[in-house]
Structure 1
C-alpha cells in the first residue's frame, strides 16, 4: 500500500517502507500529535520519536520487540505526555536537545547537541538544533543511502511555514534562519518532511515560499 502520511487519532498507523528503515506514523490526541516509530530492517531495533500522548496506543504500535530509544523533539507538554509510561514499560534510553532537557519531566539520558548522531541498529540519525520554537528543539535527519533524505521536524517546520514563535520577532528570525541554513541549504528538494502535527511535505514543496514566510514574519 502506498504511504500517504495522512493519519487520524484513533486510526491505524501509516507505514513508509524504505530499503533499510520502516517508518510508522500514528496520531494521538488531544492535540493531534504525530508520533513516529522507526525500525531498522536489518536488526529489528526500534526508536520512537515523540511519546506525545496515549501510552497504550504507542506501546501497542511498538509491540513485543520494544524500543531501544525514544527521542523528544522539544519540551512542550504535548510532545512528552506519554514519555514516562513508555519509558517505564520499555526501559528505553531517552534523548532530547540539551537546551530543552530541563523542561521535560522525564530525565534525559543523552542530551543532544547540533550534529550529534543517534544510532539504533544500523541506522543513524543526525540531530539539527533549531532555535526559536523552543531554545532546544531538534530535527532528526535520516540520510538514506538508497534515496532522498528524510527529516523529522517536530514543531519547527510544517507545510506552509515554520513553527509558532509567539509573535516574537527575534525568535522567528532565529527559527527561520536555522531552518534555512540547516535544512533547506543542506538538503535536496526531494527530502521528505515529517512534522509534529498534520500532513507530511517535502522541502521542494516548501522552498519557493521561504521569502513569503520571512515577509509575513511567521
Structure 2
C-alpha cells in the first residue's frame, strides 16, 4: 500500500483505494485541517468530510463528479469555514451530529445520531456519536468487506490521545468512555484512523495507551 496519510497544506492529496471507496486525504488552512473525499467506486457518488477551508482547493479535489453530501464532524469553526461556498457550488446536502447543528454557518439537511447509516453510492458507513470534544461530534465507520475497517474521527481521536476537552474532567470522562466503547471495543486493531488534524494511526497502535490516557486525564 502506497497510502501513508501524510499530507501538507498546499500539497497533493494522498489517495487510498478500498474495495468500495476511493479515499482522498488533503490538508487545508493554517492549522493542518484534514479533509477527506470519499468516492463510491461503483457509482462515482462523493461525500466530503469537513469542508474546513480553502473552498477552491476543495472544489478542485471534488472535480467534475459532483458532490452528494458534506459531513461536518463537529461544530468547531475550523472544520466548516468553506462549507457555505462548497454547498453553494455543488448543491450538496449538509450532515452533522444533531447536538452540533446550531454551530454551523448554514442549516443542516440531515441530523445524525449514534448508529445512523450514511450512504455514499452503494457504500454504507455508520455514524458514531462521541460526546466530549463537542456535544455532537460524529465519527464515521466504514467496514470494508474485502479488507480493513476505517474510521474518520474528526477531533475525537488522534495518535496519542482523545480530543481536547479543555481540562474538564466530565467532558474527558465522557469522550474517553465513548471512544473506548464505540470505537476500540467494536473495531479490530488493524482499523485505520483518519483524524481531523495531522497524521493517521491505527487502533492497534493506540490501544495499549488507553490506561495511560485515562490516568493522565487527557
TM range (shorter): over 0.9
Q: By how many angstroms is 1:19 displaced?
A: 1.5
How far apart in 2 are the matches of 1:122 and 1:95?
18
How far apart in 1 are the matches of 2:32 and 2:39?
23
Unaligned runs of 5+ in 1: none
How far apart in 2 are the matches of 1:79 and 1:20?
26
The match for 1:27 is 27
The match for 1:57 is 57
1:6-21 to 2 correspondence within 5 Å?
Answer: 6-21=6-21
SS at match of 2:57: helix
The match for 2:149 is 149
- Counterpart check, 1:71 vs 2:83: no
Q: By how many angstroms is 1:213 displaced?
A: 0.2
Q: By how many angstroms is 1:158 displaced?
A: 0.2
Q: By how many angstroms is 1:15 displaced?
A: 0.1
SS at match of 2:166: coil
How far apart in 2 are the matches of 1:145 and 1:88?
34
The match for 2:108 is 108
How far apart in 2 are the matches of 1:90 and 1:31?
25
How far apart in 2 are the matches of 1:174 and 1:84?
31
TM-score between both structures, scaled by the size of structure 1? 0.99
Q: By how many angstroms is 1:31 displaced?
A: 1.3
The match for 1:134 is 134
How far apart in 2 are the matches of 1:144 and 1:20?
7
Aligned positions, number? 218
Q: By how many angstroms is 1:11 displaced?
A: 0.1
Ranges of 4+ aligned residues in structure 1 off by more than 6 Å: none
Q: By how many angstroms is 1:99 displaced?
A: 0.2
How far apart in 2 are the matches of 1:148 and 1:66?
27
How far apart in 2 are the matches of 1:125 and 1:193?
14
SS at match of 1:47: strand
SS at match of 1:141: strand
TM-score between both structures, scaled by the size of structure 2? 0.99
How far apart in 2 are the matches of 1:143 and 1:74?
22
Q: By how many angstroms is 1:147 displaced?
A: 1.0
The match for 1:86 is 86
- Counterpart check, 1:117 vs 2:134: no
CA RMSD of aligned residues (A): 0.7
How far apart in 1 are the matches of 2:52 and 2:20?
25
Unaligned runs of 5+ in 2: none
For the 8 Å contact 2:124–2:142, the answer to whether it is kept is: yes
